[in-house]
Amino acid sequence: MSAPFVPHTEEEIGEMLAFLGLSSLDELFSTVPAALRLAGGLDLPRQQSEADVVHRLEVLGTRNRPVGRSLVCFAGAGAYDHEVPAVVRSLASRSEFMTAYTPYQPEVSQGVLQAIFEYQTMVARLSGLEIANGSLYDGAASLVEGVNLAVAATGNSKILLSGGVNPRWRAVLSTFSKGSGHELISVPLTDGITDFNDAAATDSAQVGAVVIAFPNFLGCLEDVAAARSVADRTGARLVVCFDPVAAGLLKTPGSLGADVVVGEGQGLGTPLGYGGPYLGLFACHASDVRRLPGRLVGETVDIEDRRAYVATLRAREQDIRREKASSNVCTNQTLMAVTAAIQLGWLGTVGLREVALRSARAARYTREALTAIDGVEPAAGAPVLREFAVRLPVPAELAIDRLVEEGYLAGVAVREGYEGTDVEGTLLVAATERRTREEIDGFAASLEKVVR
Amino acid sequence: MSAPFVPHTEEEIGEMLAFLGLSSLDELFSTVPAALRLAGGLDLPRQQSEADVVHRLEVLGTRNRPVGRSLVCFAGAGAYDHEVPAVVRSLASRSEFMTAYTPYQPEVSQGVLQAIFEYQTMVARLSGLEIANGSLYDGAASLVEGVNLAVAATGNSKILLSGGVNPRWRAVLSTFSKGSGHELISVPLTDGITDFNDAAATDSAQVGAVVIAFPNFLGCLEDVAAARSVADRTGARLVVCFDPVAAGLLKTPGSLGADVVVGEGQGLGTPLGYGGPYLGLFACHASDVRRLPGRLVGETVDIEDRRAYVATLRAREQDIRREKASSNVCTNQTLMAVTAAIQLGWLGTVGLREVALRSARAARYTREALTAIDGVEPAAGAPVLREFAVRLPVPAELAIDRLVEEGYLAGVAVREGYEGTDVEGTLLVAATERRTREEIDGFAASLEKVVR
Amino acid sequence: MSAALPGGRALSAPLMGHETEPTLFELSVSGRRASSFRTSSLPEWSAEELVPAELLAASPVELPEVSERDLVAHFTRLSHRQYSVDLGAYPLGSCTMKYNPKVCDEAAAAAAFAHVHPAAPPSCTQGWLELLVELEEQLCAITGMSAATLQPAAGAAGELTGLLLMRRYHEARGETRTRVIIPGSAHGTNPASVTLGGYQVTTVGTNERGGVDLDSLRAALDDDVAGIMLTNPSTLGLFEEDIVEIAAAVHEVGGLLYYDGANLNAILGIVRPGDMGFDIVHLNLHKTFATPHGGGGPGAGPVAVSKHLVQYLPGPRPVRNSDGTFGWATPEHSIGRIHSWHGNALVLLRAWTYLRLHGADGLLAVAEIAVLNANWIKGQLRGTYDIPYDRPVMHECVVSAETLERETGLRALDVAKRLLELGFHSPTVYFPLIVHEALMIEPTETESPQTLAALADALLLIAREAQEAGEASAAKQAPRTTPVRRVDEARAARKLVATYDQRP
Amino acid sequence: MSAALPGGRALSAPLMGHETEPTLFELSVSGRRASSFRTSSLPEWSAEELVPAELLAASPVELPEVSERDLVAHFTRLSHRQYSVDLGAYPLGSCTMKYNPKVCDEAAAAAAFAHVHPAAPPSCTQGWLELLVELEEQLCAITGMSAATLQPAAGAAGELTGLLLMRRYHEARGETRTRVIIPGSAHGTNPASVTLGGYQVTTVGTNERGGVDLDSLRAALDDDVAGIMLTNPSTLGLFEEDIVEIAAAVHEVGGLLYYDGANLNAILGIVRPGDMGFDIVHLNLHKTFATPHGGGGPGAGPVAVSKHLVQYLPGPRPVRNSDGTFGWATPEHSIGRIHSWHGNALVLLRAWTYLRLHGADGLLAVAEIAVLNANWIKGQLRGTYDIPYDRPVMHECVVSAETLERETGLRALDVAKRLLELGFHSPTVYFPLIVHEALMIEPTETESPQTLAALADALLLIAREAQEAGEASAAKQAPRTTPVRRVDEARAARKLVATYDQRP
Ligand SMILES: Cc1ncc(COP(=O)(O)O)c(C=O)c1O
Ligand SMILES: Cc1ncc(COP(=O)(O)O)c(C=O)c1O
């Protein structure tokens, strides 16, 4: 017996076995039917030293091209290259936050509990609603839960789903709707904006949720009021997929009429990380709190009347409500929520606005630079913010591959599940506050070479 | 007024100035003679954002070639590429250790105090003496302090200094001897080993210290007993420069007769870091403790009789003893001492031995591989451990430059201040436990190309 | 500018006292800031030029305005109010709170992995893809399955994925089944997932040895049963002895067996779910493979399946191309995507690292010692605490304070709170639901015999104190040394204050 | 295998209680290990084959044998028993315990800098060399000097370097001078360095305004005086008003002026030592430029000099070559090397980062606010504590508990201990030596007005408690909330136990 993190010496094992009246470790597994026992051991290599494993990781690492100075990032589509300062990494990686679990014992978990409470407050403010939970897996998971809440609240299971919602999230919603039985009805975009005209035909009595994104997948700013009136007409909940960074400039979805606000919180301090772990944001009205998925931290007092925090309304959750729970989430993304609270604390009121503003400026400058190239056209006319789509005279995938060689991650090809717009050669480009004029000019010059 | 880490708002500054009856920040400096005031401000660029500074650091970083997969390290000469596991970095970088200062208030400094106490214990064991201090700047500083102790203890200021001591340390000793007035008498090497025959002529009554290195700069294992008898004959203290990693295999200097043991602790968890911060190790007999330089932590109790640690024998130190203090050290290298304690805890009895053994194997294999090359000869015959010198048919600097292109940091050219051996084309090569057979074979093959 | 909101005072850090730590909102002073951004010479268009007036916020969202120094002090002090594995033993049953190797943290922080955009083309991500493919292969080797999806972000997400696979499997065979069987001892995520998967829960009973009651199971089985969800060892820490019979019975009616891998730690290298007859397996990488729990996540819950289900797996999946390069492919009959991207990639990387560090021999030792530790501590507690199903356990043991409660008033909750004072996190209490006053103790293999002995001593001490002092025992007052003492949970729910803005 | 040595119990972490943390030696169990190494197929020569028998250790040196898990728990718990800037205010006078920006930690950890071998040829270190040259230029701009050595590892090393430069300067002029003047308020390193530099100390008095007594100075000056060491502002926090006269008088007799830069924070961008007439300046980068103090180091103490001393600087020095590349050069009349390598390079890198983050405008603001904070807190304490030299201070203020001590028995030490309970690190006490019951308070610019107010309130409270309760006041019992209470320092010295092996 030998494993790198098992402390037991042979002698200690012997003593412990003796106490149990056993003579070998193998006898511990006497309750496992002999026929099932794995004969030759696992078909895996033997253990390796830390140094060996690190060496192998370094080799694998050389086969990746992270974004940075040698691959300038213009890709977005739900994952953004925003500034994350050292202080956020430093605090979020403190081992007390890293190596604790769900705060079941509040007396020794005030650190995580208070951080989540602060996070909830920030997300509630950003969304413009009263209540936010302690995190869900990612933006897609939040969307699924938001729709579930809407259906449970209204009793109606038809979903009017805007084509402007991130296609990956729509795909996830579609996957899970096989279980929940929700009927997804796609509402197409016209010139980048959801066009509810045809949706009017839908049997309004059965609509549980109207779902739009603000800004939407193409970076366009939707008419939330129009969606709100569709929701009003049908008695549905309005679910808005929002972007917490754009919230630095825009009116909150709540103030525009959203009942449920969901979003991806990656931009709030979490690295690109090849897509995860990210952070599902979720907010709703106080009146819906009993249907809220996931953990919720509340403020209370201890027996000495000191302010204290605790996981509350636990009766909603799966461990107590079991098959009647509205959500099955247990482990969520607490560390990313703590990270977001730290990042938002670092940004502050002015900083968040600045990120949004600088990103919007960079995006506009990029859009002007790219569309000045012969053959490159804007793909939608609506007002855009940090992200926008252009139509290229060459397939988007080809342009992306060629631009990687030039040192630019040009964007994301619009293809998978994207409806309502001609996607041939459509490239989705994002520019954050980290993009400089020199980088954008270089990118445009390289794109020009590629499409020429 | 604006600085990135100053929290004060303009309004707050105004209120504070008002409290002081002042109307501008400038008035705070009324006691500075006007004629001295800097007119145009500092001749420095304006403040930059974290992101900008990081960007510039990345650019500068690309102009360095750190050791690692693309520059395999065979350089030593007092700075070694030993394994440092993630756990050591993780613990040593905890902000409680990083952002505290000298533990003047023991009640809130038990963390650092206990860590130093554990470090002192480990260094005492490694050196084979009873007392170790809480660190000095580096190996050279420890040597200087060791010699000072010896001179103070014996009242004699002649120093018999082996040519096998690291030439950089000898240079430092020489610099400081201008102030202390010690007379350094070089004792040359014969075939890699200190030859005390000529030194016998020195007026033995005035010798305060005999200094040798074990292993010495050429990696050779000195005859400590011979040095001990010179010390005995002259009434001098025997100061031994030791290597804490070699201590994993060798008898302790204390058991071989050293009175003072000094050394460089970089190999115990501290990165190469372009030469610093490193860790000066220092140990002596209990009978010399009142001459010990630097901080010393002792165990005691608090008023509730709980075990507690405190900086002790403070009366030795400069802040109390002032011009009569034997040393002027104040800020030392505590964080590196804490790091070394963690690293030695990680290594354990068996691990330290293994590092020494694996390094010695790698060095022997490297030595055999290099000296198998036509024209490459061993530079000394004495038994060597982790490091050894070879004589090349080309200038060592040239070989080093050529081998960098091949991906190897070949070693260190023996030149500066090195006496007693023909240094023409002499290359000092080190191999640690991190060197693999493949790396060594590749190195030898490249060297063969270079000398051919 | 009074002393109302001290920023730099550490009175809330337990080292210096037990005062309340102000919220970041209370530390905020309008006009302060910590953030800064890259210099750029882009045109400085105003917000009004960039956003239509009707969508532009009239005033920005209020966030705390603090200096970097105060931000650091606040969260560092909060961290000092948080127990964690790195501070001491955390024998929280069912959660496998083992030590998380530090090298995994560095691996996950390396720019070469952490700064890769998830939509970057495969030419930019060969290292990542190779790692993911290797991880999938290793997880399959460990579970005895054919292929896996790495997308699920946690165990519960894996469960729902598994149920959708089950559904798709039956649908492909033209069958519509409505029920999924779970034992009463199951974790709450199982029944919740069943509902979300569009099935009804049928609960089966537990026999007197703590296993699934075979008669009750057979009675429940018919061709309306889509499958059964089991964790083996069960939440009682017991190996399901009748697993072969169970598998046969479920397969007989055309159902599938779902393995809840939360307890996989106990059987690494000993027995594989695939060999027991399971068709679908989720793993909790944050439990078994030591990716840190992060105060409640992130985790990762890959789902591995047997051959006949591979075609339904979520996609796209990382694959090894025939030319040795790596890419993405979606199974022909995939149930679709279940994560925004590829799953919790940096968590997967940690697990990959852990698996490499352990290898076949290391993983076997993990299981052996985890089981040794659990049995040892159970042995120590026997005679003082009740042991509901007293037979050899696997990686955890469930004991009960039922008799103690009756005789001395000591409840499981009191034991938990007193244990905090004694320097340990508490075990899981009141779970599984089928055991009264349950204390579910999972020491894990990374705790030393000395730690176990101290833990056992503490638990015995608490019982002894209760036997001697009854309601006056220390446990009833506990905890007294923690930053806050017993917290009023009822009030939290009654007068909900879920944000700083809702404070009265 | 008893519970004697619990490894995983957090009872010593203040969060859970105040028990003693065992030493790592007590956590050790023979046969345990955490370490592992690279796999290699080198020949496995035995120790006996590699080392002559007479030098081979009979048995290996005993070190603690612990698991990685216990190593982590131990040092994490120790960290919870340690106050630090990141937890709260640390107004330790003369030490400039400002907030250390986190970005500097990452900068110093980057492999591109941290893994460079100090003997690597300049072709491998152009980035490092450029950075060092830039740092030297910036330090010269800040101090008004011509060139600097970056070798000294701390302030005291800088002092000795400066004194050796002084010595070499005089020697080069064929003079042998024997005395160096320092004021009575000087830091202990100054007189100690003077001795090590081979000089005798002549102490000059302090005038009633807290400055150097000019008459006393003039009386001490003759051509045997090598120079004077001053810190300006002085350790009383006061700007030396007569600095121009002092400089003239010292230069008149052919002496040099040495500037102890420990207090440079106060005058950044306001006035430069060079312009005051100093010839040699050391800087404490760990104070002024926020490189963290590390529990007592590492620091860095570069020494900058005026034109006529450049030729004597230690070498080799990083230099800009005429072709724009960077290399090393040793000044012609160099005093020689004073560090094993190039100084505390990673500390220098932190300072470089800090300087870039601040620039000219940021550094000026640092000084302004540091001085504002010190004056503000002094103003708050006036009337309650004695203020020995009550005129505008610079970055720190020295107050005294002399009257309080006389009237209530409250000593500076009691104030310090009670302050710990109230959530602050204490000021420096009993320094400078010329002030009785001194409390030397240096808030630094990174503490907010709110923190200052809380600190002032705490200091006023302590005085009030003493006035009301005298010997029964809280301060006499303090600290009560810390991991240990008043520590028996006398016993530590009397019965020295400096290693675990010396325990009785
Ligand atoms: C037995 C069991 N099943 C399932 C789960 C759910 O896993 P997760 O929390 O990762 O969603 C848990 C987690 O606590 C568990 O203990
Ligand atoms: C005024 C003064 N001078 C000199 C020093 C010595 O500096 P160092 O501790 O870096 O050696 C100090 C440090 O405390 C100091 O405060």
Q: How far, in Å, from the CA of D448 to the mean position of ligand 1?
A: 45
Nearest to residue C200, comparing CAs of C182, C219, C217, C180? C180
List the CATH code of the domain at C102-358. Answer: 3.40.640.10
Q: Is there a single domain that holds both residue A250 and residue A352?
A: no
- Encode B115-136: b = buried (16+ Cβ within 10 Å), e = exposed: bbbbbbbbbbbbbbbbbbbbbb
Q: Residues D422-442: what's their mean pLDDT?
A: 95
Length of chain D: 504
User: CA of D371 to nearest chain C CA: how many angstroms apart?
Assistant: 18
Q: Is A52 on the interface with D (CB under 8 A)?
A: yes
Residue C5 has pLDDT above 70, yes or no: no
Q: 3-class secondary structure for D391-436?
A: CCCCCCEEEECHHHHHHHCCCHHHHHHHHHHCCCCCCEECCCCCCC
Write out the two tokens for C76: 């560092």
Q: Is there a single domain that holds both residue B137 and residue B262?
A: yes
* Pocket-testing residue among B104, B136, B331, ligand 2, by greatest number of atoms within 8 A of Cβ: B331
Q: Is there a single domain that holds both residue B363 and residue B324?
A: no
Residue C21 has pLDDT above 60, yes or no: yes
Tens place of pLDDT per residue across chain A (452 aa): 689 999 999 999 999 999 999 999 999 999 999 999 999 999 999 999 999 999 999 999 999 999 999 999 999 999 999 999 999 999 999 999 999 999 999 999 999 999 999 999 999 999 999 999 999 999 999 999 999 999 999 999 999 999 999 999 999 999 999 999 999 999 999 889 999 987 766 667 799 999 999 999 999 999 999 999 999 999 999 999 999 999 999 999 999 999 999 999 999 999 999 999 999 999 999 999 999 999 999 999 999 999 999 999 988 888 888 888 889 999 999 999 999 999 999 999 999 999 999 999 999 999 999 999 999 999 888 888 999 999 999 999 999 999 999 999 999 998 754 444 456 689 999 999 999 999 999 999 999 999 98
Count up the domains in chain A and report the number: 2
Residue C122: is the preceding peptide bond cis (ω within 30°)?
no
Residue C4 has pLDDT above 50, yes or no: no
Q: According to the model, what pLDDT value does residue C328 have?
A: 96
Q: Residues C230-253: what's their mean pLDDT?
A: 96
- CATH architecture label of C359-494: Alpha-Beta Complex (3.90)
| Residue B95 placed within a domain | yes
Q: Is there a single domain that holds both residue B333 and residue B437?
A: no
| Residue B329 placed within a domain | yes
| Residue B227 placed within a domain | yes
Residue D109 has pLDDT above 60, yes or no: yes
Q: Tell me which amino acid residue B208 is.
A: G
Identify the residues whose C-beta falls under 6 Å from ligand 2.
Answer: B 330-331; D 94-95, 154-156, 187, 189, 231, 235, 260, 262, 284, 299, 301
**Could you tell me where in chain D the CATH 3.40.640.10 domains are found?**
102-358
Q: State the CATH number of the domain containing residue B364.
A: 3.90.1150.10
Residue B258 has pLDDT above 80, yes or no: yes
Lookup result for tokens 């954050």? A432
Q: Lowest mean pLDDT: which of B191-205, C470-484, D417-431?
A: B191-205
| Residue A239 vs residues A127, A212, A250, A283, B1: alpha-carbon distances, Å | 11, 7, 17, 10, 46
Task: Give me the residues of D, 99-138, that contact A with CB < 8 A.
Answer: 101-103, 105-106
| Residue A189 placed within a domain | yes
Q: Crossing angle of helices C449-469/A10-19, nearest 10°?
A: 40
Residue C215 has pLDDT above 70, yes or no: yes
Q: According to the model, what pLDDT value does residue D2 have?
A: 33
**Could you tell me where in chain C the CATH 3.90.1150.10 domains are found?**
359-494
| Residue A134 placed within a domain | yes
User: CA of B201 to nearest chain D CA: how many angstroms apart?
Assistant: 28
CB C30 within 8 A of CB B9: yes
Number of H helices, E strands in chain B: 12, 17
First-residue to last-residue Cα distance in chain A: 64
Looking at A308, A342, A376, the residue that finishes a domain is A342
| Residue A198 placed within a domain | yes
Q: According to the model, what pLDDT value does residue C7 have?
A: 62
Mapped onto helix, strand or coil, the DSSP state of residue D308 is helix
Looking at A299, A314, A342, the residue that finishes a domain is A342
Atom of ligand 1 nearest to the CA of A331: 9
pLDDT tens sequence across B157-205? 999 999 999 999 999 999 999 999 999 999 999 889 999 987 766 667 7
Q: Is B12 on the interface with C (CB under 8 A)?
A: yes
Q: State the CATH number of the domain containing residue B296.
A: 3.40.640.10
**CB-side neighbour CA atoms (13 Å) of C50:** 28
Mapped onto helix, strand or coil, the DSSP state of residue A428 is strand
Q: According to the model, what pLDDT value does residue B198 have?
A: 77
Confidence band (pLDDT; 50, 70, 90) for C3?
A: very low
ipTM exceeding cut-off 0.85 for this assembly: yes
- Which run of H or of E encompasses A212? strand A207-214
Q: According to the model, what pLDDT value does residue A380 have?
A: 85
Q: According to the model, what pLDDT value does residue D3 have?
A: 33
* Pocket-testing residue among D163, D185, D189, ligand 2, by greatest number of atoms within 8 A of Cβ: D189
Return the partners of chain C (3 or more C-beta pairs < 8 Å): A, B, D
Q: Which residues in C lie closer than 8 A to residue B90 (C-beta atoms)? A: 102, 105-106
| Percent of chain D topping pLDDT 90 | 94
Tell me which residue range forms the domain holding A230: 86-342
Mapped onto helix, strand or coil, the DSSP state of residue B430 is strand
Q: According to the model, what pLDDT value does residue D233 have?
A: 96
Q: Is there a single domain that holds both residue A126 and residue A77?
A: no
- Partner residue facing C36 (CB), from B4, B12, B90: B4
For A94, nearest residue in chain D (alpha carbons)? D76
| Percent of chain B topping pLDDT 70 | 97
Q: According to the model, what pLDDT value does residue D4 have?
A: 41
Tell me the backbone φ, ψ of residue B391, rounded to 5 degrees.
-105, 130
pLDDT tens sequence across D283-339? 999 999 989 999 999 999 999 999 999 999 999 999 999 999 999 999 999 999 999
Looking at B342, B367, B386, the residue that finishes a domain is B342
For A37, nearest residue in chain C (alpha carbons)? C271
Question: Which residue has its alpha carbon closest to ligand 1 atom 16?
Answer: C94
Nearest to residue A348, comparing CAs of A157, A112, A85? A85
Identify the residues whose C-beta falls under 6 Å from ligand 1.
Answer: A 330-331; C 94-95, 154-156, 187, 189, 231, 235, 260, 262, 284, 299, 301
Q: Is there a single domain that holds both residue B149 and residue B215?
A: yes
| Residue A119 placed within a domain | yes
pLDDT tens sequence across D185-231? 899 999 999 999 999 999 999 999 999 999 999 999 999 999 999 99
Nearest to residue A243, comparing CAs of A434, A440, A76? A76
Q: Is B304 on the interface with C (CB under 8 A)?
A: no
A5 and D66 in contact by Cβ < 8 A?
no
Q: According to the model, what pLDDT value does residue A419 have?
A: 46
Residue C8 has pLDDT above 90, yes or no: no
Q: According to the model, what pLDDT value does residue B200 have?
A: 65
Question: Which letter does DSSP use for residue B331 in this model?
Answer: S
**Helix boundaries (H) for A251-380:** 318-321, 334-371
Q: Is there a single domain that holds both residue A402 and residue A337?
A: no
pTM of the model: 0.97
Average model confidence (pLDDT) for chain B? 94
